[in-house]
Amino acid sequence: MVRMLPMSTFRPLSLSSSAAPLIRLSAARLSGSGDGGGGAANPSRRIALFHLGSAIPQAHLFGIKTPKMLRTDGNVIEAATGGSMAQASTAVTQEGALEWVKKDNRRLLHVVYRVGDLDKTIKFYTECLGMKLLRKRDISEERYTNAFLGYGPEDSHFVVELTYNYGVDKYDIGTGFGHFGIAVEDVTKTVDLIKAKGGKVTREPGPVKGGNTVIAFVEDPDGYKFELLERGPTPEPLCQVMLRVGDLDRSINFYEKAFGMELLRKRDNPEYKYTIAMMGYGPEDKSTVLELTYNYGVTEYDKGNAYAQIAIGTDDVYKSAEAVRLFGGKVTREPGPLPGINTKITACLDPDGWKSVFVDNIDFAKELSDL
Write out the binding residues for Zn(2+): 161, 179, 227
* Beta carbons of 182 and 237 less than 8 angstroms apart: yes
Catalytic residue (choose from 154, 227, 230, 322): 227
Long-range contacts of 293-301 (CB under 8 A, 24+ apart): 293/178, 293/242, 293/243, 293/244, 293/245, 294/244, 294/245, 294/246, 294/247, 294/248, 294/251, 295/244, 297/273, 298/244, 298/246, 299/246, 299/247, 300/246, 301/174, 301/175, 301/176, 301/244, 301/246, 301/352
Contacts of 248 (CB under 8 A, 6+ apart): 275, 277, 292, 294
Q: Is 227 a catalytic residue?
A: yes
Is residue 301 within 8 A of residue 174, CB to CB? The reply is yes
Residues facing residue 183 across a β-bridge = 229
CA distance 317 to 334: 9
| Cα–Cα–Cα angle for 244, 195, 197, rounded to 5 degrees | 105
Whether 93 contacts 55, CB under 8 Å:
yes
b (16+ CB within 10 A) / e for 23-34:
bebeeebbeeee
Binding residues: 161, 179, 227
Dihedral (C-alpha) 44, 47, 51, 53: value to the nearest 10 degrees?
110
User: Which residues are known to be catalytic?
Assistant: 227
